[in-house]
Amino acid sequence: MSSLNIPIYMDYSSTTPVDERVAKKMGECLTQQGYFGNPASRSHSFGWQAEELVEEARQHVAALLGADPREIIWTSGATESDNLAIKGAAHFNVKRGKHIVTVKTEHKAVLDTCRQLEREGFEVTYLDPMENGLVDHDQFRAALRDDTTVASVMHVNNEIGVIQDLKALGAICREKGVVFHVDAAQSPGKVAIDVEDMNVDLMSLCAHKAYGPKGIGALYVRRKPRIRLEAQMHGGGHERGFRSGTLPTHQIVGMGEAFRIAHEEMEAENERLSKLRDRLLDGIKDLEEIYINGDMEQRIPGNLNISFSYVEGESLIMSLKDIAVSSGSACTSASLEPSYVLRALGRADELASSSIRFTMGRYSTEEEVDYTVDLIKNAVSKLRELSPLWDMYKEGIDLDTVEWAHH
């Protein structure tokens, strides 16, 4: 079987293709022959059938989290969920305090939401992660104050794939009476979730990183003890008033089916992806001056984020044009700025190095990994051959001591 599709997709943390099984189910909810009804229509079978499908999907999502289906609120995606969770909880609890704790390596959907709250008069503490990308538990505990109402920590980091210890952080939040929000956009199908065991109060999810469609997500909202939120979207009072707007049956069914499959196939898939990731790493590990970003143990199997020293990022991406990868995160890679996530890890050699995020997934193959290995080796060797900085490194010159003509 030799059927390499160029470019090779190695960017599964940006988004995933919709699984055929999911697409089929979605297609059944669109046309006149299908379940096109409005799930909120109470007076006829079109509405009832659609509602049944929506509730079935809700069960699948809840099952993956170890939650009750009544704790799942449909949204348009993880960004909306993050906004609803953080703003909603911060606003609702404003009489108790106006302090929020989060981490510098969070997704922009969390960081920019916090910035907005700062403009509204809230105070936010942005914690530095440790060098491996993980949050120091003692530092986290120390950051929670009497007036802290919400703490937001992501489960799996989108750039470096590290997995935070939610159980430990959740226990601290519960003890301190702080609402614990988790952005888990990257988790489903990659790492087990149990909101009870982890004491998570709010959890943001989306479908499109787990082989479901774009434009649909969910927010888990704990019922016991009940977490109250101030709604951000007002209207028909859908989703128990948390989020108004007609439910998109096909999107929801797609997310439900995607999560059902993700839950079912996680173990086998993780084993397969671990092997592919090791194969990729083994293939390139003989290159000099490369560094892995983020902890290798507490990490999802499909992610490898590597810094290549003395190679400039844009030209590296250019010579890797046969593979689809990200430099930094997809949301920021157009701006040519070094990744804020890697900077937060305190990488000293950030200046003259470029980092590439390889993320593999359901349709990645050994053949694709082998092709990628050859491509990287050739590209890095070629660019270093072209690089005056590589020459200087080889001559033993410390680049930090050189006086550069800044322009």
Catalytic residue numbers read 331
312 counts as binding other proteins under rule CB under 8 A: yes
Taking the CA atoms of 235, 241, 242 and 243 in sequence, report the sign of the dihedral they define.
negative
Q: Residues touching other proteins: how many (CB under 8 A)?
A: 23
Restricting to residues 339-378, which ones interact with other proteins according to CB under 8 A? 351-352
Separation of alpha carbons 47 and 164, rounded Å: 41
Structural contact between residues 292 and 149, judged by C-beta atoms closer than 8 angstroms? no
From candidates 296, 318, 331, 397, binder to other proteins by CB under 8 A: 318
314 binds other proteins (CB under 8 A): yes
Least distance in Å: CB of 391 to other proteins? 7
268 touches other proteins by CB under 8 A: no
Q: Does 406 contact other proteins by CB under 8 A?
A: yes
Tokens of 362: 């359901």
Plot region of 68 (φ>0 → left; ψ -120 to 50 → alpha; else → beta): beta
From candidates 271, 391, 394, 397, binder to other proteins by CB under 8 A: 391
Is 389 a binding residue for other proteins by CB under 8 A? The answer is yes
Query: Residue 231: CB partners within 8 Å, gap ≥ 6?
Result: 84, 88, 241, 242, 243, 244
Residue 224 near other proteins by CB under 8 A: no
Buried b (16+ CB within 10 A) or exposed e, 249-268: bbbbbbbbbbbbbbbeebee
What whole-number distance in Å separates Cα of residue 133 and Cα of residue 161? Answer: 9
Closest by CA position to 131, among listed 298, 281, 273: 298
Distances (CA, A) of 386 to 266, 316, 326: 43, 12, 23
Of 299 and 384, CB closest to other proteins: 384
- Rule CB under 8 A: say whether 379 interacts with other proteins: no
Residue 20 makes contact with other proteins by CB under 8 A? no
Measured N-to-C along each axis, helices 249-284 and 366-386 cross at an angle, to the nearest 10 degrees, of: 60
Does 310 interact with other proteins (rule: CB under 8 A)?
A: yes
Among 121, 225, 388, 396, binds other proteins (CB under 8 A): 388
Contact 371, 324 (CB under 8 A): no
Binding segment for other proteins (CB under 8 A), chosen from 160-168, 169-177, 214-222, 384-392, is: 384-392
Nearest to other proteins of 256, 328 (CB atom)? 328
* Helix, coil or strand: residue 244: coil
40 Cβ neighbours under 8 A, 6+ residues apart? 47, 51, 236, 238, 246, 247
CA-based max dimension of the chain: 80
CB of 316 to other proteins, least distance (A): 10
Toward other proteins, which CB reaches closer, 349 or 366? 349
Looking at 100-108, 198-206, 262-270, 315-323, which segment touches other proteins (CB under 8 A)? 315-323
Told to check if 324 binds other proteins by CB under 8 A, we report no
1 forms part of the interface with other proteins (CB under 8 A): no
Task: Give yes or no for residue 385 binding other proteins (CB under 8 A).
Answer: yes
Give me the amino acid identity at 99.
H
Contact between 322 and other proteins per CB under 8 A = no
**Residue number, 297 or 403, with CB nearest to other proteins:** 403
Segment contacting other proteins by CB under 8 A, of 13-21, 178-186, 276-284, 382-390: 382-390
315 binds other proteins (CB under 8 A): yes
Does the footprint of other proteins cover residue 407 (CB under 8 A)?
A: yes
How far is 269 from 273, CA to CA, in rounded Å? 6
C-beta closer to other proteins: residue 224 or 404: 404
Residues of this chain that interact with other proteins (CB under 8 A) are 310-315, 318-319, 336, 351-352, 385-391, 399, 404-407
